[in-house]
Structure 1
Amino acid sequence: MGLFDSIPTHMDYQGQKLSEQLFQVLAVTFGVIGFIVGYMFQQMSYMMYILAAGCALGCLLTLPPWPMYRRNPIKWQKPQPEMESSQSQQQQQKGSKKKQK
């Protein structure tokens, strides 16, 4: 399991956007090229092969979390220290007394 733990599996939000845009451009481009080639040769199978090649290329470029999709990591806030339950109860009581006034 140590091998799989060392492989990065995350993608940041900007990387997800880039990946989606890249896949859409590839799908449309290969679809148009496939349609034109299929129309020229009057072979629907040519169109389907070109479209399948575009889908395979798109999957290869967009599904793995390549480093270009991990350039903008999320900056998380630091965790706040937890208060003990007795302190939080005291603060709640003080807050309710202020509301009553």
Structure 2
Amino acid sequence: MLRRVAADRQNGHVAERVRIREIDDDEGRRLLRIIRRGTGSVVTWRRAQMVLLSAQGMPVTKIAEVTFTSADRVRDVIHNFNTDGFDSLYPKYKGGRPKT
């Protein structure tokens, strides 16, 4: 489970590493399918990639480097996956032109 501890370097406290929750074989295969398929939303593809890399033990800073995004964004994706599961991978589009 994700446990964040606020970093307060002045007092010598260090933030705990963000970790992905335990994923089972079915979830791992589902993540691989999303990544390998390459169709659909690039947002979903990128989020699945971040989750899978984290599950393989890659640190957040390296995932951010590989996916060309910020470490904070990677942490958000991991946190959201830990709480909402696969639903968090799919974008919830807001705004834009209303359907007619």
TM-score norm. by structure 2 comes to 0.29
TM-score norm. by structure 1 comes to 0.29
Which structure has more relative contact order (CA 8 Å, sep 6+)? It is 1
**Which has the larger Rg?**
1
In terms of fraction of residues, the more helix-rich structure is 1
